[in-house]
């Protein structure tokens, strides 16, 4: 069986959509998406600050 192809932006959009529904506790939501709570809160902060553009891949270069 082939590996499921994932796209980071799509996964982040789904995560934010589920977070906005407010149906799952943060811990459960992060577990469902296989991310840490720290990452979950980072994505939420980036979304709240920059909108959808905040969910795009960001360069780590300074």
- The verdict on residue 23 lying in a domain is yes
Give CA–CA dist 44/62, Å, rounded.
22
- The verdict on residue 2 lying in a domain is no
Residue 34: give the domain boundaries.
Answer: 8-55
* Total tally of structural domains belonging to the chain: 1
Q: In the structure, what pLDDT confidence band is assigned to residue 18 with cuts at 50, 70 and 90? A: very high
- The verdict on residue 24 lying in a domain is yes
- The verdict on residue 41 lying in a domain is yes
Q: Note the pTM of the prediction, 2 decimals.
A: 0.79
Give CA–CA dist 48/62, Å, rounded.
23
Q: Which two tokens stand for residue 31?
A: 């577990």
- The verdict on residue 13 lying in a domain is yes
H helices within the chain, ranges in order?
A: 8-21, 26-33, 37-50
Contact 29, 19 (CB under 8 A): yes
Tens digit of each residue's pLDDT (9 = 90 or more) over 22-61: 999 999 999 999 999 999 999 999 999 999 999 888 766 6
Q: Which two tokens stand for residue 9?
A: 């932006």
């Amino acid at each position: 069986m082939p590996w499921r192809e994932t796209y980071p932006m799509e996964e982040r959009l789904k995560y934010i959509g589920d977070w906005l529904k407010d149906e799952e506790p943060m811990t459960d939501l992060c577990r469902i998406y296989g991310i840490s709570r720290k990452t979950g809160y980072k994505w939420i902060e980036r979304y709240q600050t920059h909108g959808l553009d905040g969910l795009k891949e960001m360069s780590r270069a300074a």
